[in-house]
Amino acid sequence: MALAAPERGTPDDTVVALSSAPGASARAVVRLSGPRAWALAGEVFAPATARAGGPRAGSREDGALRLPGWPPAPVVAVWLRAPRSYTGQDVVELWVPGAPPLVRRLLLVLEAAGARPAAPGEFTRRAFLTGRLDLTQAEAVLALTTAEDAALARAALRALAGGARGRVDEVKAALTDVLAHVEAAIDFSEEEIDHAPGAALAARLDGAASAVRALLTAGRARPQAGTEPVVALVGPANAGKSSLLNALCGAPAALVSPHAGTTRDVVGASWRLPSGRVARLLDTAGEKPATSEVEARALDLARAAAASADLVVQVVDGLDPRPPANGSSDALVVTTKADLAHSLGDGLRTSAVTGEGLLALGKAVDAALAGRGAAPELTGTARQEAHLGRALEAVARAADLLRGQDPARAELAAVELGAALEALGELTGAVTTDDVLDRVFGQFCIGK
Amino acid sequence: MDPWDVIVVGAGHAGIEAALAAARLGRRTLLLTANLDTVGKMSCNPSIGGQAKGQIVREVDALGGEMGRAADATGIHFRLLNTSKGPAVQAPRAQCDKPRYAAYMKRAVEAQPGLTLRQEHVTDVLVEGGRVTGVQVGARVYAARAVVLTNGTFLRGVLHQGLEQHAGGRMGEPPSGLLAALAAAGIRTGRMKTGTPPRVNGRTIDPAAMEAQPGDPEPVLFSFLSQGPPPLPQVSCWVTRTTEATHAAIRENLDRSPLYSGVICGVGPRYCPSLEDKVVKFPDRASHQVFVEPEGLDTLEVYLNGISTSLPPDVQARLVASIPGLERAEVLRWGYAVEYDYFPPTQLWPSLESKAVAGLFFAGQVNGTTGYEEAAGQGLVAGVNAARLVALQPPLVLSRDASYIGVLIDDLVTRGTEEPYRMFSSRAEHRLLLRHDNADERLTPLGRELGLVDDARWAAFEAKREALAAGRVAFARRPHLARAMRRQEAVLEQVAADLPDVLALPAGVRRLLETELRYAGYLERQAAQVERQRRLEGLPLPDDLDYRGLSGLAVEAREKLAAVRPRSLGQASRIAGVSPSDIDVLLIHAHRRRA
């Protein structure tokens, strides 16, 4: 996600967009941002009670929307002045009745008056350009608006609140501190400063490296927006996998028949879990001796799907509860056909007919998926991962150097620490040589 | 009378290099000093060089400057610092014979053709229509096309000793005014302070009670032209320490310290604090080092490095007597603090020319720096640029990746300074490339192009460059040997034992080659970093860009950018308070302007 350089336009023009969800609704929010936001809004907004000197910054005003050829419509205007707005620019929000034709007309009138339609993500980009959000926060906003389930949204909210920034800043502080020791030993070699031994500094770097690694893992563990966790149903032919899928997803996605081996292709559907998280549920060809080329290929596909899934649900036929042939140890085991009296078998009992056990299965899957990876605080974009990776390598090399015997270790460790700080600086802002010197003078009695 | 091409005001370490450079570039140059007997005076400690400063001296030398040769000719104690910490942070330092150093410099400016040295007390600068036209000496005028101001600590200087104070730029010398025209032109001033320690009579100290600190047996000299051992006899320095009694003397008399009674308001250097500061700020330290440094061969005066103080004389006598080896030492001069005006250097272009007054250059301590070496580096650049301005040539701007002088000036004009600015090697982001051993490779070709490097220096440089090239080729042809050199503590003579051509190279070239090969990976990385940075440096920003009218910039960044008026996006990115997002806004703007 390239926030650094907007593809078009600059913050010098004024943009407009519908900020609420498209379609009919009780209320729609049209947002203007840029130097002419107030002037443009003034062209379509008539306040209920005119105020001498115009609207007040930070105020909310009732009034009427005046569009050429349309009768007045009730509207609330929110007036914000730079830099105290989301984008850091002058902003006006117009809350209008959520009728799509009215909204379209309003946007057209504002565009005719000189506003440019905002590009996707442009309000957030402006917030970044004006320094209202740092890069990790801006990325978090974009992740939040595209979050498809509660877990993603919570992670994005944490990142937006600066959760990752705090942790990155802690790592930076630790690195700056070690660098100050290294630099003090170089620049003030004649002074009697209390040099921390190389091993002690290296140990501090190990701690910093673990913290970076944790951030990196958190970023990776988190599925990318738009790619839900994948849960695969596997089991013998005719065990009831397709019926289970249809029941869980609430739609007849998979063809069902009493004949074993009905499912050949991998069939997938969206499954909303009790947590609100959406998983991709896969139905695979049942395990049975292949009698044809097509069936053999279907089994290959099933195995591949199971192998790449985040979670495997081993389905046991309640009427024929044989232990799974080569079930994986961390698979969830469910037994089907619980509505039939003579159904037996281990694991969670479910019935696609009565719905028995389906909620419990959902909760079990939620719990299993939640265990995969701690709640992330960084929205794990490729950019962040690259910077964290660079920082981690440099910190590890610096630690090795400080432990080692190379005569130039102080000098080279300083290079590595500088590189690590630069990489982390790309995430949340730079550390300058002044910062390092401030620490040196704060900690050591220098002065020949 | 025709106007002078260049007038340099002040004949200290900055003024000397400025005047010599301007004259060597063929400009009719006048060097004015209030006192002909203090040309090139070392007002503070007797040493030249040291960490990062030693590199600057070698850079001044590589550009044809005088400081390195003067230090070599008058040095009485040489040491290469940090030999165990890596090649880029090694730095040469010398204790010089103070009177001889000043005499060497006075003779150098007297001997320079095209340079007139004269004792005059300059009272003001003449400015007409935003351009400098000369200097005022009482009722008389010296007209000039360019003026370089190097007034050191003399501007509204006030000396403090205890609670007593009097006007002066250096003990025993009057301060200068010189502010009227500059204030009228809108040039702001700030206030700083620095200090010196007491000096004692060497006859009255006891070397046996102190630890001797001899110089290196094989001194590394500053100038690339200096050969062989230093000409003067070498002496030892000593190290001793303060005691509990010293600290008690200070604590009991803090109310008589101008620093702690609020008399001094100028900002002092954190890296060179007074002994009062050390005792107050680091109460846990029971003792501090004192370096005992002879000031010359013809004098017994000894400098007590590390106990700079502005306490009254009776307290100074007590604290000197409390230090082992100095119990019976007679003080020759008392320590004092000096407060002085400086011109916040963000008011300068990277050429060191004033933004407010065309043709007026500032160099040295007036820009808020400390140190003879920092002054000399700026002086040389200001002198070159005054000369180039007169000849209508574009200014010389040294880059951060090619010299410490470039780092120094860029820091000053971009970030300014709140405390007296001293160079540290950690200020240079490409430190591995800015070594003392390759200063000539970095700068001498440029010096030659500018006209600062004479034929003799150029011939010596070319010989070295050829030897180095031969050595590089020898290893480039033998990658296995180049790889072997990357091992820790690889020694060139062992790895290249079978290569007589390499073994026959001069020793200095062999050490340089060894460093290049041993740290090849790191040097390549820094070179790549430099390339990345250069892309930003290559994006120019117009001087007249209206930052206040540029939306999208943070308020703080807008103010800072408008004040500094950076020349390139790279320079803008180093201004304190300008964030990466501000740079993005400028990037967009730069692209749009070009489109």
Contact B488 A436 (CB under 8 A): no
Weakest mean pLDDT among A78-87, B98-107, B116-125, B208-217: A78-87
User: Beta strand B289-294 with B164-167: parallel, antiparallel or unpaired?
Assistant: unpaired
Indicate if the pLDDT at residue A3 is higher than 50.
no
Note the pLDDT of residue A132: 72
Q: Render pLDDT for A184-226 as a digit per residue (tens, 0 to 9).
A: 888 887 777 766 788 889 999 999 999 888 888 776 655 444 4
Question: Percent of chain A having pLDDT more than 90?
Answer: 20
Note the pLDDT of residue B473: 95
Q: Render pLDDT for B428-456 as a digit per residue (tens, 0 to 9).
A: 988 999 999 999 999 999 999 999 999 99
Gap from B528 CA to chain A (nearest CA, Å) = 12
Note the pLDDT of residue B446: 97
Note the pLDDT of residue A395: 95
Contact B81 A434 (CB under 8 A): no
In 3D, which of B470, B460, B461, B513 has the Cα closest to residue B491? B513
Interface test with A, best of B56, B81, B85, B553 (most A CBs within 10 A): B85
B239 CB neighbour count, 10 Å cutoff: 17
Note the pLDDT of residue A148: 60
In 3D, which of A159, A141, A163, A155 has the Cα closest to residue A1? A141
Query: Could you tell me the pLDDT band of residue A376, with boundaries at 50, 70 and 90?
Result: very low
In 3D, which of A349, A374, A359 has the Cα closest to residue A158? A374
Tokens read off for A435:
């910062």
Chain A segment 217-276 residues within 8 A of B by beta carbon are none
Chain Cα centroid distance, residue B362: 14
A26 CB neighbour count, 10 Å cutoff: 7
Note the pLDDT of residue A435: 66
Note the pLDDT of residue B189: 92
Q: Render pLDDT for A335-369 as a digit per residue (tens, 0 to 9).
A: 888 887 666 666 788 888 888 888 888 888 877 77
Query: Could you tell me the pLDDT band of residue A269, with boundaries at 50, 70 and 90?
Result: confident
In 3D, which of B276, B216, B201, B214 has the Cα closest to residue B246? B276
Note the pLDDT of residue A159: 67
Whether B201 has its CB under 8 Å from any CB of chain A: the answer is no
Most confident of A60-69, B22-31, B335-344, B420-429: B22-31
Indicate if the pLDDT at residue A130 is higher than 80.
no
Chain B segment 539-558 residues within 8 A of A by beta carbon are 550-555, 557
* DSSP helix/strand/coil, A433: helix
Q: What pTM value is reported for the model?
A: 0.74
* DSSP helix/strand/coil, B52: coil
Please give the backbone phi and psi of residue B220, each rounded to the nearest 5 degrees, phi first: -90, 120
Tokens read off for A71:
């009768």
Q: Is residue B496 a contact partner of residue B518, using CB atoms and an 8 Å limit?
A: no
* DSSP helix/strand/coil, A189: coil
Tally the C-alpha atoms within 13 A of residue A355's C-alpha that lie toward its C-beta: 3
Q: Is residue B66 a contact partner of residue B452, using CB atoms and an 8 Å limit?
A: no
Gap from A21 CA to chain B (nearest CA, Å) = 27
Q: Which residues of B touch A128 (CB under 8 A)?
A: 581
Query: Could you tell me the pLDDT band of residue A276, with boundaries at 50, 70 and 90?
Result: low
Candidate from B88, B271, B488 with C-beta closest to A406: B488
Whether B425 has its CB under 8 Å from any CB of chain A: the answer is yes
Q: How far apart are CA A38 and CA A61, in angstroms?
A: 13
Weakest mean pLDDT among A108-117, A250-259, B98-107: A250-259
Indicate if the pLDDT at residue B317 is higher than 60.
yes
Weakest mean pLDDT among A47-56, A120-129, A243-252: A120-129
In the CATH scheme, what architecture does the domain B538-594 have? Answer: Orthogonal Bundle (1.10)
Q: Which fold has domain B199-337?
A: Elongation Factor Tu (Ef-tu); domain 3 (2.40.30)
Q: How far apart are CA A138 and CA A127, in angstroms?
A: 8
Contact A447 B488 (CB under 8 A): no
Query: To the nearest whole number, what is the mean pLDDT of chain A?
Result: 78
Strands (E) across A224-346 are located at 230-234, 267-272, 278-283, 311-316, 332-335
Q: To which H or E segment does residue B48 belong? A: strand B47-49
Tokens read off for B478:
């033998």
Indicate if the pLDDT at residue A4 is higher than 60.
no
Range A426-430 average pLDDT: 66
Chain A segment 39-98 residues within 8 A of B by beta carbon are 82-83, 89
Range A170-176 average pLDDT: 90
Query: To the nearest whole number, what is the mean pLDDT of chain B?
Result: 91
Higher pLDDT among residues A426 and B110, named by residue:
B110
Range B305-311 average pLDDT: 93
Q: How far apart are CA A132 and CA A125, in angstroms?
A: 10
Q: What is the dihedral of CA A185, A187, A189, A190, to 10 degrees?
A: -140
Tokens read off for B282:
């680091």
Chain A segment 386-415 residues within 8 A of B by beta carbon are 404-412, 414-415
Indicate if the pLDDT at residue A125 is higher than 60.
yes
Note the pLDDT of residue B472: 95
* DSSP helix/strand/coil, B189: coil
Domains and CATH numbers, chain A: 15-127 (3.30.1360.120), 160-209+379-443 (1.20.120.430), 230-371 (3.40.50.300)
Query: Could you tell me the pLDDT band of residue A149, with boundaries at 50, 70 and 90?
Result: low
Whether A4 has its CB under 8 Å from any CB of chain B: the answer is yes
Range B226-234 average pLDDT: 93
Q: Which fold has domain B4-196+340-446?
A: FAD/NAD(P)-binding domain (3.50.50)
Q: Is the dihedral of CA B39, B44, B48, B51 positive or negative?
A: negative
Most confident of B80-94, B215-229, B572-586: B215-229
Question: Percent of chain A having pLDDT more than 70?
Answer: 74
Weakest mean pLDDT among A39-48, A222-231, A263-272, B472-481: A222-231
Q: Render pLDDT for B15-51 as a digit per residue (tens, 0 to 9).
A: 999 999 999 999 999 999 999 999 999 988 999 999 9
Gap from A444 CA to chain B (nearest CA, Å) = 8
Q: Which residues of A touch B580 (CB under 8 A)?
A: 135, 426, 429-430
Contact A408 B87 (CB under 8 A): yes
Note the pLDDT of residue B155: 84
B305 burial level (CB within 10 Å; 0-12, 13-18, 19+): buried
Range A8-16 average pLDDT: 68
Higher pLDDT among residues A29 and A434, named by residue:
A29
Higher pLDDT among residues B83 and B353, named by residue:
B353
Q: Render pLDDT for B518-535 as a digit per residue (tens, 0 to 9).
A: 888 889 888 888 887 777
Q: How far apart are CA A22 and CA B453, in angstroms?
A: 72
